[in-house]
Structure 1
């Protein structure tokens, strides 16, 4: 470590420090990191604070549009109450709405059964229904209930489930599958490619022919086989995607290893008696991290798109769990009358993909400034 004239040590700058400064100077990459962090926090923490479970069904609010106002609307309360009370075979004379309470005067040609308020409590619009002021002859009474106010900021789907909660839960699934599948692909690809490139010769030839054979097989073939053997579940997704996407990583790392193993520091390690595993662990793999990190940021959006495509085909995650691909698939079938079912999941998916791609471009420029 160099020292100044007064004897104080000055800390030198590493290449990683320079790369970090170049990355932070890239406004698009920094904005993308902030956006990606916001999306991730919203997806993982948002469902914990939202009032609606992702699998809760509101039968009275099927395909309601996105709105900042609470449901039901004022003009919907009286007709809904009358419809529910008619199931109890009574006549609704008057309905008054006062704030969060609604009062109805009812009459009937026969005795009124107080249990008719169960129709109100079973609905999604009212709660705490009571029968009061029952007449002596049992032919008239007053029914009171509380209006249940619900917010659906992204609207609801075709089953009456809150789309905002489901979009955030879908983000959890898509981001988790993207990260896990990428880690699987990176782990397999780095180890396979570095071993193949470092050992060389017939071993390299055989290992690369295996990669070529796997390249020739269609991706969907692997997925169908995994579905047959393991069934449709969450774990299957990142195993299926990661088990195929490592092929590109293996070729990239192999090319880097072929150039690194001719470097002086690798030859010096071999001359000192370091075994092959030690050379790979200490010298080859650490020096391939730059391209690996860049490829990883570009692989995550690719994996998310693949998962969305598989979910669109019905081979992905299953209900009631969901992903952005599942929501987009459902939204595309209802785009004519319920466009919000397609718009909100698409916004989250596209913004995440753009952010990851901009981060990948920023890392590429930061780690390889000569390529700018």
Structure 2
């Protein structure tokens, strides 16, 4: 008989990216930040469809009302609202009885009431189309049933009577889109430019980096003002302007990584085998710079959002009726004493996003550090 021995399978090693994922998942702050960002983006994408309000809908009867979990109009506000409408109809209201979904009242006047003027109830944000239940004294006394139009403003309304919750979520779409798109522009330009300069080296590297130094000397605000003067204010211009400046830091980071990678054995072997310069950049140089680049991207997104908020605060950003967190914070700062909720809610969303991105960037930095393997 011959002894048969079974060989154990060789152990499977883990790559740097697998180790980085495991370390990232062990970082509670980074995971919590990732969940918070996912929920924030989901709320900004889906939330405006569920609030029941359009971001540009103006409620003239609900200007600067505070946030509330209960519906508007409040019961104590109904008599005053009826009185204002009755004044426009040139009648006197009486026997006002507010129920859950309607108001019963009697209008009296010295002359017959023009029933066409009852449309003022329908034009109001608080009431629907009235129904005449009794017509007495040759039209000088009308008994009405007026439906109540209930509205919920969880975050309150702004100075124009627009729902602040809807506008905050729409502003999140704009701010996050500008942050991601501008970062994408900076990523594409900076990685390609820095990797090319670092790998080629020599005079080409010197000339390319001197161009970067010249662009660094241009004031950012002056550059944006010039773009606004020549091309006008629009959403696309915002992320192009920001991305066209922020790629400079990305290029320097990638260039530093490429200078060390070009001396590695696998790059020298690829050169000896006759691989083209573009092939070496695509297959070896750029993929091996992604670790620091990913970390920098998570830190660049909040920087871009702050830049957009700053530009919007100065009036150079997105324009009405579209909005961003910077625009809302600017409006809230001007009315902080009378309506503090106009500043608190958009600022809370912005601060939460910035903290989450910074914690995620710290977690990625620790996870992708090869010295921690």
Same fold (TM over 0.5): yes
CA contact (8 A) 1:85 1:116 kept: no
Question: Which residue number corresponds to residue 95 of structure 1?
Answer: 96
Question: SS of the counterpart of 1:134?
Answer: strand
CA contact (8 A) 2:91 2:107 kept: yes
CA RMSD of aligned residues (A): 1.4
Give distance in 2, aligned partners of 1:369 and 1:284: 17
User: TM-score w.r.t. structure 1 length?
Assistant: 0.97
Question: Which residue number corresponds to residue 113 of structure 1?
Answer: 114
Question: Which residue number corresponds to residue 54 of structure 1?
Answer: 55
Question: SS of the counterpart of 1:227?
Answer: helix
User: Offset at 1:291?
Assistant: 0.5
Determine if the alignment matches structure 1 residue 237 to structure 2 residue 238: yes
| CA shift digits 1:61-106 (9 cap, x unpaired) | 0000111111111010111112101211111122111211101111
Determine if the alignment matches structure 1 residue 365 to structure 2 residue 366: yes
Structure 1, 102-111 or 302-311: larger mean CA deviation: 102-111
Question: Which residue number corresponds to residue 341 of structure 1?
Answer: 342
Question: SS of the counterpart of 1:127?
Answer: coil
Question: Which residue number corresponds to residue 354 of structure 1?
Answer: 355
User: Offset at 1:131?
Assistant: 2.4
Structure 1, 94-103 or 232-241: larger mean CA deviation: 94-103
Question: SS of the counterpart of 1:259?
Answer: helix
CA contact (8 A) 2:119 2:129 kept: no
Give distance in 1, aligned partners of 2:292 and 2:214: 24
Give distance in 2, aligned partners of 1:50 and 1:331: 21
User: Offset at 1:370?
Assistant: 2.4
Give distance in 2, aligned partners of 1:199 and 1:84: 77
CA contact (8 A) 1:117 1:130 kept: no
User: TM-score w.r.t. structure 2 length?
Assistant: 0.97
Determine if the alignment matches structure 1 residue 155 to structure 2 residue 156: yes
Give distance in 2, aligned partners of 1:50 and 1:5: 65
Give distance in 2, aligned partners of 1:342 and 1:5: 70
Structure 1, 84-93 or 188-197: larger mean CA deviation: 84-93
Determine if the alignment matches structure 1 residue 317 to structure 2 residue 326: no
In structure 2, the gaps of 5 or more residues are: none
Give distance in 2, aligned partners of 1:24 and 1:191: 30
Give distance in 2, aligned partners of 1:211 and 1:50: 46
Give distance in 2, aligned partners of 1:6 and 1:324: 62
CA contact (8 A) 1:189 1:247 kept: yes
Question: Which residue number corresponds to residue 207 of structure 2?
Answer: 206
Give distance in 1, aligned partners of 2:333 and 2:323: 15
User: Offset at 1:136?
Assistant: 4.8
CA contact (8 A) 2:16 2:370 kept: no
Q: 4+ runs of 1 displaced by more than 6 Å?
A: none
CA contact (8 A) 1:312 1:329 kept: yes
Where does 1:279-298 land on structure 2 (aligned, <5 Å)?
A: 279-298=280-299
| CA shift digits 1:36-81 (9 cap, x unpaired) | 1111100011011210000000000000011111111101011111
CA contact (8 A) 1:128 1:146 kept: yes
User: Offset at 1:116?
Assistant: 2.2
| CA shift digits 1:170-200 (9 cap, x unpaired) | 0000000000000000100000001111111
**Alpha carbons of 1:146 and 1:255: their partners in 2 closer, same or farther (altered >3 Å)?**
same
User: Offset at 1:10?
Assistant: 5.5
Question: Which residue number corresponds to residue 16 of structure 2?
Answer: 15
Question: Which residue number corresponds to residue 76 of structure 1?
Answer: 77
Question: Which residue number corresponds to residue 331 of structure 2?
Answer: 330
Give distance in 1, aligned partners of 2:372 and 2:325: 35
Question: Which residue number corresponds to residue 64 of structure 1?
Answer: 65
User: Offset at 1:7?
Assistant: 5.8
| CA shift digits 1:198-242 (9 cap, x unpaired) | 111111111000000000110011101111121100001100000
Aligned residues between the structures: 369
CA contact (8 A) 1:42 1:168 kept: yes
In structure 1, the gaps of 5 or more residues are: none
Question: SS of the counterpart of 1:304?
Answer: helix
